[in-house]
Amino acid sequence: MMAINRPKGTNDILPQDMRVWHAIEQNIRDICQVYGYEEIRTPIFEHTELFQRGVGETSDIVEKEMYTFHDKGNRSITLRPEGTASVVRAFVESRNFAEAQPIKYYYQGPMFRYARPQAGRFRQFHQFGVEAFGTQDPLIDAEVIHLCMRFFYGLGLKNLQLHINSVGCKTCRPIHKEALKDYLRPSYDALCETCQNRFESNPLRIFDCKNESCQKIVKNAPTITSCLCEDCKNHLEELEGILKTSGVDYVLDEHLVRGLDYYTKTAFEIMVSDIGAQSSIGGGGRYDSLVEEVGGPDMPGIGFAIGLERTIKALEAQGVLAWKKEKTKVFVACVSSLEKRDAYQLLLQLRGANIASEMDVMDRSLKAQFKYANKQNFSYVITVGEEEIAHNRFALKNMQDGTENQLSTKEIIDLLKEESTC
């Protein structure tokens, strides 16, 4: 029979990898609780229109990276390529915008984008993100950035680079767009093909282009930062002030432009080296008109998304594996198959007392059982033999220091219970 393997760009998270994921998920819950963000879970597929409207028609995600299909009712459905649009939709649909503000959510789960996989890029990947609705106060921008950095530092990551910029708002963005186009127009022919297409639809993205000739042209172009309206300028300055007084290292990156169309004012991105060419590990920004575009009230919002696979890759590259410690577990070995039933009764009692325990099911020799227990990192081995059964006292061996004692079932349970709870 031909073996079937996983679809391109997907990953199995195997039992041996699960520790890291659990640690990360726990870290997410802990931090979000401290910062007052509540979890929200939305479907992993939505009406295609949500992303077209929310993420934006001119973004690469919508243009060429969506997993879109028609269901049996002939509805156009898309596997979510990112989290914000869905969260905003749920926020609006549930009418939660009528609750006391600000309203702060976090989410975590798989996202889907159709692109060629490479180091740090997959077709199914996981993001952790937060969204805060209801206020334009730069303090909340700072809070979101703090939370984001705290997540990374909480895991033990180092060498992160935080880039910050403002991409303006409805008032100043069109002014900058015209100024930029005026500046670029004489050099239009020297732009690369994609940038020529961007010229009309989304000239801001030309700043992102890695093409040498485009970079040369754009080098002295008017940046959005230099064209900000009074409101946006103050907002950015205030945010910078808060970050400085709270000791957050950042770089003001006037060329930082985010790929999603909904961003306004604050945009930020976190980079880390050593995870391949895809050095962005998280990013986010403000989206003050997205809620309204999705059909809700005129309400500002800000959030970020972090790539969990990239986070794990960075953790591996930096050798951070602080959660290696295993919990106490016990192996019940029997001298011969004659004691199997008695051993199983003992196992039941241990498990009844919530002590993690297992026994041999491979009919292995006693020696082989010890070898196995050692290999699998069991902290204790209890030996069940003729003698033990007769006296109702079992040999409990500590696999760390090699000591062994004859104890009653009750003594064993009391001892192990204490150990497994600390």
With binding defined as CB under 7 A, does residue 368 bind RNA?
Answer: yes
With binding defined as CB under 7 A, does residue 4 bind RNA?
Answer: no
Triad 216, 264, 193: Cα angle to 5°: 35
DSSP single-letter state for residue 325: P
Q: Whose CA is closest to 85, among 277, 287, 224?
A: 287
**Residue 391 tokens, joined:** 């006296």
With binding defined as CB under 7 A, does residue 303 bind RNA?
Answer: no
With binding defined as CB under 7 A, does residue 277 bind RNA?
Answer: yes
CB-wise, 105 or 122, nearer to RNA? 122
With binding defined as CB under 7 A, does residue 258 bind RNA?
Answer: yes
Minimum gap (Å) between residue 299 Cβ and RNA: 21
Binding RNA by CB under 7 A: which of 27, 42, 48, 59? Answer: 59
Minimum gap (Å) between residue 213 Cβ and RNA: 12
With binding defined as CB under 7 A, does residue 5 bind RNA?
Answer: yes
CB-wise, 366 or 415, nearer to RNA? 366
Q: First and final CA of the chain: distance in angstroms?
A: 49
Minimum gap (Å) between residue 97 Cβ and RNA: 23
Minimum gap (Å) between residue 193 Cβ and RNA: 10
C-alpha 3/C-alpha 411 separation (Å) is 50
**Residue 296 tokens, joined:** 């809700």
Identity of the residue numbered 212? E
Residue for token digits 């409101």? Answer: 231
388-403 b/e (C-beta count within 10 Å ≥ 16 → b): bbeeebbbbbebeeee
With binding defined as CB under 7 A, does residue 372 bind RNA?
Answer: yes
With binding defined as CB under 7 A, does residue 309 bind RNA?
Answer: yes
Region 79-118 residues binding RNA, contact defined as CB under 7 A: 82, 113, 115-118
φ, ψ of residue 62 to 5 degrees: the values are -75, -35
Residue 56 CB neighbours (<10 A): 22
With binding defined as CB under 7 A, does residue 386 bind RNA?
Answer: yes
With binding defined as CB under 7 A, does residue 335 bind RNA?
Answer: yes
With binding defined as CB under 7 A, does residue 365 bind RNA?
Answer: yes
With binding defined as CB under 7 A, does residue 44 bind RNA?
Answer: no
Task: List C-alpha distances in Å: 386 to 101, 272, 334, 341, 393.
Answer: 69, 60, 9, 12, 11
Binding RNA by CB under 7 A: which of 25, 60, 411, 419? Answer: 60
With binding defined as CB under 7 A, does residue 282 bind RNA?
Answer: yes
Q: Which long-range contacts (CB under 8 A, 24 or more apart) does 291-296 make?
A: 291/88, 291/91, 291/92, 291/97, 291/133, 293/53, 293/54, 293/262, 294/50, 294/53, 294/54, 294/85, 294/88, 294/89, 294/92, 295/92, 296/88, 296/91, 296/92, 296/97
214 within 8 A of 191, measured Cβ to Cβ: yes
Minimum gap (Å) between residue 29 Cβ and RNA: 20
With binding defined as CB under 7 A, does residue 381 bind RNA?
Answer: yes
Per CB under 7 A, the segment of 19-27, 149-157, 239-247, 305-313 that binds RNA is 305-313
Region 137-166 residues binding RNA, contact defined as CB under 7 A: none
Q: Whose CA is closest to 172, among 242, 218, 223, 221?
A: 223
With binding defined as CB under 7 A, does residue 255 bind RNA?
Answer: no
DSSP single-letter state for residue 36: T
Binding RNA by CB under 7 A: which of 278, 328, 349, 409? Answer: 278
With binding defined as CB under 7 A, does residue 260 bind RNA?
Answer: yes
Per CB under 7 A, the segment of 15-23, 59-67, 157-165, 172-180 that binds RNA is 59-67
What is the contact surface with RNA in residues (CB under 7 A)?
A: 5-9, 59-61, 65, 82, 113, 115-122, 125, 127, 194, 205, 208-211, 258-260, 269, 276-283, 305-307, 309-310, 335, 362, 364-368, 370-375, 381, 383, 385-388, 395, 397, 399-400, 402, 404
